[in-house]
Structure 1
Amino acid sequence: MRYHRLTPAAAVLAVLTLSATACSTKSGTGTDTAGSDGVKTGPGVTETTITLGALTDLTGPYASLGRSIVNAQQLYADQLNASGGVCGRTVRITVKDHGYDVQKAVTAFTETEPNVAALSQVVGSPVVSSLQQEIEAKHLLTLPMAWASSLLGNEYLQVIGSTYDIDMVNGVEFVVRKAKLKPGDKIGHVYFEGEFGENALAGAKYAAKQHRLSIVEQKIKPTDQDLTAQVTALKQAGVKAVLISAGPKQTAALVGTAAAQGFAVPVLSNSPGFAPQLLATPVAPAVEKQLHVVSPAPSFSSDIPAIQKLAKDYKAKYPKALLDSGVIGGWNAIAVLGEDLKAACKAKDLTRDGIAAAHRKQSGLSILGVSHDFSDRAKPSTYESFVHKPSKQAAGGLVNVEPAHAVPAARSYPLPKS
């Protein structure tokens, strides 16, 4: 996950915490009815509104990420409503803060679920995992802000973009070229224990095997911020490059310590390991020199017209907020859900199952310049990854190094079964 600059809590909550619009349905899939316009409706949908839910982190370790996602999704909803909404209905978002606490998230889900048509975001792999069975049981289309391939294969859960492991398969191929690695060379991998890090590690191991490389593993905890021991171990092992699947603080610690030790090998991070705030720290020169980021999404420095429009619109609405990958991730999810709602409206079925069915028919949907196929729930919506490089001068702190692409090994990689 990522850390980003906070925006004032009062302003965020005033703009973004919208009260749920209740409808006369029961919990679960509810009692579906037909509106006066002939459109079937279910939980979260009335004659005038469509209410979505957002279970996010506004006070915990990923608070700044949560705020960026919420801001972007509210921007989309505002623009959608200004153009007439969906089926003549206003789209609203009920935001619940779980502080990255699983128990609080379960409570927030229980309070929110009966009155929403879908979930436009759920922040955190542990949270998503804890809610997975209920999401499926309630037929609630959910777009998690988590990219583990273990979330694939579920009818009502949808990862937007490539997964952590697929990104690493594509990323290792980049590192092989960047560091001019040869069969028999070693690469290090520093990773969080748990779903995120271990999913990324699985992809890295598969890619390393294809290139006849060996992985030197260093497992860490999210609370670890001094990586001197890990960097020393990797240096002594003679690794020629390092992968990291952790948070921005750990990325900063790794790169800063490596630079201090004269260990100037290339470092590649999954997208959650970078935040533009790193470029305002003492390790910024080392970050710009050594780090690359593999990501399922383009950077704000991209010349993709949709990205440039998003940047302009976001800064107009939130002039003091930082452009970061949370903005892109939040927009990606709500834009997909918006297209699902439009398709469900056209089919005159805004029930939960109607929305999910509309989603599964999206097989060539382009969002922010990336084409997605959601028709096969067992596969990522795309196998392609971008490679970025940190830069102080770039919008969002990243410049694009390589466009979205998928190496052959990404498609042959055996995805873990959910």
Structure 2
Amino acid sequence: MRTTYAAQVTAGALAALLVLAGCSSKAKDSDNDGKENGTGAGEVKTGDGVSGKTITLGVLTDMTGVYATLGKSVTQAQQLYVKQLNADGGVCGYKVELTVRDHGYDPQKALAGYTELEPKVLGFTQFIGSPFVAAVKQRIDGQDKGLVLPQAWSATLLGSPYIRVIGSTYDIETINAVDFLMKEKGIKKGDKIGHVYFEGDYGESALVGSKHIAKEAGLTVVEQKIKPTDNDMTAQVAALKKAGVKAVVISAGPRQAASLVGVAAAGGFDVPIIGNNSAFAPQLLATQAGPALMKNYYVASPSLPIGADTPEAQKLVADYKKAYPKDALDNGVVAGWTAVYAFGEALKKACESKDLTREGVDKALLTINSLDTGFGIPQDFTDPNAPSSKQSVILQPDKTVTGGMKVVRDPEASDAAAEYTLAP
């Protein structure tokens, strides 16, 4: 809930926080309430996060920051999955429980939340924010080794057997987005395209993708770096219009996307604009920018939308509406469901191997090579150096459909994305 930055995260600040986090992190208890390297029900090996008859999983989300809408949808979808899983008997006789912390997209709260929960949980079904996950990556890989399925798609998170990006990373997603602009919106060799992006892991990962395909296709990228506090895109639209760009990519949050599209429309700057998966929320369709979003805005997504015409999507819509009748449907529901579904499948496979330790769950996920949750794109988790997919779906805002997004290009990995390899 590819999801983005409510506060600028500097390398120095993160480094200082990590020192504090590392010092305050609870040392591994040798018995972990009697469970470390012990056995549970039915001689199943257990460890951190498994106590009594409960498997505890962590959720580090944003309920009050720039991605509050996304965080709420992701979390509620995961709570719905766990409720249904437990109703079906849980995993190996254990009930699954989610422990949720709202970090509000604040780096200090995010790292404090991780430090607090890590010793208590088997792993994390959610961790919103590429920079925050990257900040604890060394700890996860070096000592903690608990599975983390982040709502974050920065390519910097690849290479870990414990942090697994679900769907295409931002660079690959952006390559697919620009490919759509060329094939469907008339962008051609020699044209300029604008790229408005958040400073930090998210925006800069996406920028790598736009620069890569621009070089391959003979395009020129006109950059506009912004901060998460920059909600008015008037200056950026003026600069891109003056530069003569024929299309714009935006790698920011929903507010910035709405401002960009709305300002462009008001100023007669009639060019297609496409965002990464984190750059839209259907609630925007009720704002003044709604008509412009439906006319000129597109979104690259790692899955079909919540309103997809599949049995699995239709069931999820019905179940979610029943559980949360007052809440809107959006693609955060799909993202949250997909992540917790993948974690659930890893738990089930680890149960079959009678190893519900962190190591057992990590190994179990590595055996899943074609996870299909009914949203169009199978996920392959066997290679830690690659995202689980290189495909993207291109969506367009439409207030008449469930979830506010319709499909304008089916799941596809462009030739440029299929051949792309991130430079070491």
The residue correspondences of 1:55-74 to structure 2 (distance < 5 A) are 55-74=60-79
Any idea what SS the aligned residue of 1:130 has?
Answer: helix
Unaligned runs of 5+ in 2: 5-27
Map of 2:92 onto structure 1: 87
CA distance, structure 1, for counterparts of residue 388 and residue 414 of structure 2 = 16
CA distance, structure 2, for counterparts of residue 383 and residue 397 of structure 1 = 24
Map of 2:18 onto structure 1: none
Aligned partners of 1:25 and 1:43 also within 8 Å: no
Which of 109, 116, 120 aligns to 2:114? It is 109
The residue correspondences of 1:118-137 to structure 2 (distance < 5 A) are 118-136=123-141, 137=143
Deviations for 1:88-111, whole angstroms, at most 9, x for unmatched residues?
A: 110001111222222222222222
Which of 174, 198, 202 aligns to 2:204? It is 198
1:245 aligns with 2:251: yes
Deviation at 1:221, TM superposition (A): 0.8
Deviation at 1:301, TM superposition (A): 2.4
Deviates more, 1:233-242 or 1:339-348: 233-242
Deviation at 1:36, TM superposition (A): 4.5
Which of 273, 276, 279 aligns to 1:273? It is 279
Aligned partners of 2:246 and 2:271 also within 8 Å: yes
Aligned partners of 1:245 and 1:269 also within 8 Å: yes
Deviation at 1:114, TM superposition (A): 1.4
Which of 161, 166, 172 aligns to 1:155? It is 161
TM-score, with length taken from structure 2: 0.90
Deviation at 1:64, TM superposition (A): 2.3
Map of 2:317 onto structure 1: 311
Deviation at 1:129, TM superposition (A): 1.5
CA distance, structure 1, for counterparts of residue 152 and residue 39 of structure 2 = 34
Map of 1:385 onto structure 2: 392
Map of 2:43 onto structure 1: 38
CA distance, structure 2, for counterparts of residue 26 and residue 168 of structure 1 = 47
CA distance, structure 1, for counterparts of residue 357 and residue 285 of structure 2 = 46
1:398 aligns with 2:405: yes
Aligned partners of 1:118 and 1:142 also within 8 Å: yes
Any idea what SS the aligned residue of 1:272 has?
Answer: coil
Deviation at 1:227, TM superposition (A): 1.4
CA distance, structure 1, for counterparts of residue 132 and residue 314 of structure 2 = 32
The residue type paired with residue 412 of structure 1 is: E
Equivalent pairs: percent with the same residue?
52
Map of 1:178 onto structure 2: 184
TM-score, with length taken from structure 1: 0.92
Deviation at 1:416, TM superposition (A): 4.6
Deviations for 1:125-171, whole angstroms, at most 9, x for unmatched residues?
A: 12111221222221100011101111010111011111111111111
- Displacement over 6 Å in runs of 4+: none
1:221 aligns with 2:227: yes
CA distance, structure 2, for counterparts of residue 190 and residue 225 of structure 1 = 12
CA distance, structure 2, for counterparts of residue 77 and residue 36 of structure 1 = 20
Mark the CA change 1:25 to 1:277 in structure 2 (over 3 Å): closer, same or farther.
Answer: farther
Deviation at 1:182, TM superposition (A): 2.1
CA distance, structure 1, for counterparts of residue 327 and residue 64 of structure 2 = 17
Aligned partners of 1:301 and 1:400 also within 8 Å: no
Any idea what SS the aligned residue of 2:284 has?
Answer: helix
Unaligned runs of 5+ in 1: 4-22
Mark the CA change 1:63 to 1:182 in structure 2 (over 3 Å): closer, same or farther.
Answer: closer
Aligned partners of 1:87 and 1:345 also within 8 Å: yes
